[in-house]
Amino acid sequence: MLKLAAIVGPTAIGKTEVSLIVAQKLKGEIISCDSMQIYKGMDIGTAKVGEEERKKVVHHMIDIVDPEVNYSVADYQKKVKELIRDINSRGRLPILVGGTGLYYQAVVDDYKFFPMPSKDEVRRRLEEMVNEKGLSWAYEYLKTVDPDYAALISSNDQKRIIRALEVYYLTGKPFSRFQTRDVSCYNLAAVGLYLERDELYRRIDQRVEEMIAKGLIEEVYALFKKGYDPSLNSMQALGYKQVWYYLSGFLTYEEMLREIKRETRHYAKRQYTWFKKDKRIMWINVKDYPSSAILAQKICAYIAGQLYKA
**Binding residue per annotation — 15?**
yes
- Average per-residue pLDDT for the chain: 92
If asked whether residues 84 and 15 sit together in one domain, one would say: yes
Do 246 and 258 fall into the same domain? yes
pLDDT at 175: 82
**Do residues 19 and 106 share a domain?**
yes
Cβ contact 187:2 at 8 Å: yes
Residue type, 88: N
Number of domains in the chain: 2
Beta-carbon contacts of 293 under 8 Å, excluding residues fewer than 6 positions away, are: 21
Q: Is there a single domain that holds both residue 280 and residue 196?
A: yes
Per-residue confidence (pLDDT) for residue 302, from 0 to 100: 98
- Asked if the model's pLDDT at residue 248 lies above 70, the reply is yes
Q: How confident is the model at residue 119 (pLDDT cuts 50, 70, 90)?
A: low
> How confident is residue 254, by pLDDT bands cut at 50, 70 and 90?
very high
CA angle 136, 272, 160 (to 5 degrees): 35
Distance from C-alpha of 141 to C-alpha of 288, rounded to nearest angstrom: 40
Q: Which of 189, 183, 113, 147 minimizes the C-alpha distance to 273? A: 147
For residue range 189-218, what is the model confidence (pLDDT) as tens digits? Answer: 999 999 999 999 999 999 999 999 999 999
Q: Which long-range contacts (CB under 8 A, 24 or more apart) does 302-306 make?
A: 302/189, 302/191, 303/5, 303/22, 303/26, 303/93, 303/189, 303/191, 304/26, 306/187, 306/188, 306/189
Q: What is the structure's pLDDT at 153?
A: 80
Other C-beta atoms lying within 10 Å of the C-beta of residue 51: 8
Residue 260 near residue 239 (C-beta atoms within 8 A): yes
Is 289 in the same domain as 192?
yes
Asked whether residue 13 is marked as a ligand-binding residue, the answer is yes
Select the highest-mean-pLDDT range: 140-144, 167-171, 173-177, 306-310: 140-144
- Tell me if 91 is assigned to a ligand binding site: no
Torsion sign (Cα): 59, 282, 15, 260: positive
- Please state, in angstroms and rounded to a whole number, the distance separating the CA atoms of residues 253 and 250: 10
Query: Does the annotation list 14 as a binding residue?
Result: yes
Closest alpha carbon to 301 in 285, 286, 282: 282
Q: Any binding-site annotation on 290? A: no
Statement: residue 160 has pLDDT above 90:
no
**H-helix or E-strand spanning residue 46:** none
pLDDT at residue 183, rounded to an integer: 58
Are the CB atoms for 260 and 47 separated by under 8 Å? no
Report pLDDT for 180. Answer: 55
Residues 6+ apart with CB under 8 A from 188: 4, 5, 6, 108, 280, 306
Return the number of other C-beta atoms located less than 10 Å from residue 57's C-beta.
17
Domain with 198 in it:
2-111+181-307
Residue 28: enclosing H or E segment and its boundaries?
A: strand 28-33
- Give me the mean pLDDT over the 164-181 stretch: 77
Of the three residues 179, 197, 230, the one that is the final residue of a domain is: 179
Quick: pLDDT tens for 178-189.
665 545 779 999
Contact yes or no for 185/2 (Cβ under 8 A): yes
Could you tell me which residue, 53 or 169, shows the higher pLDDT? 53
Q: Are 169 and 188 contained in the same domain?
A: no
Q: Cα–Cα distance between 51 and 60 in angstroms, integer?
A: 13
pLDDT confidence of residue 9 = 98
Domain identity same for 39 and 142 = no
Is 12 annotated as ligand-binding? Answer: yes
Whether pLDDT at 116 is above 70? no
pLDDT in tens, 22-75: 999 999 999 999 999 999 999 999 999 999 999 999 999 999 999 999 899 999
Q: Is the pLDDT of residue 2 over 90?
A: yes
Q: Is 10 annotated as a binding residue?
A: yes
pLDDT for position 84 = 98
Please tell me whether residues 202 and 282 are part of one structural domain: yes
Q: Write down the pLDDT at residue 22.
A: 98
Do 221 and 280 belong together in one domain?
A: yes
Residue 147 marked in a binding site: no
> For the residues 108-133, what does the mean pLDDT come to?
79
- State how far the Cα of 272 lies from the Cα of 275, in Å rounded to an integer: 5
Which residues, in sequence order, are bridge partners of residue 94?
A: 29
Structure confidence at residue 19 (pLDDT): 98
Residue 310: pLDDT over 70 = no
Q: Average of pLDDT values for 262-284?
A: 94
- Residues 150/142, Cβ–Cβ less than 8 Å: yes
Three-state secondary-structure class, residue 186: strand
- Report the amino acid identity of residue 181: R
pLDDT for the residue 114: 61
Looking at residue 99, which CATH number applies to its domain?
A: 3.40.50.300
Given 129, 159, 179, the domain boundary residue is 179
Lowest mean pLDDT among 62-66, 232-236, 300-304: 232-236
CATH of the domain at 156: 1.10.20.140
pLDDT band at 122 (very low <50, low <70, confident <90, very high): confident
Q: Tell me: do 228 and 268 sit in the same domain.
A: yes
Burial of 309 (0-12, 13-18, 19+ CB in 10 A): exposed
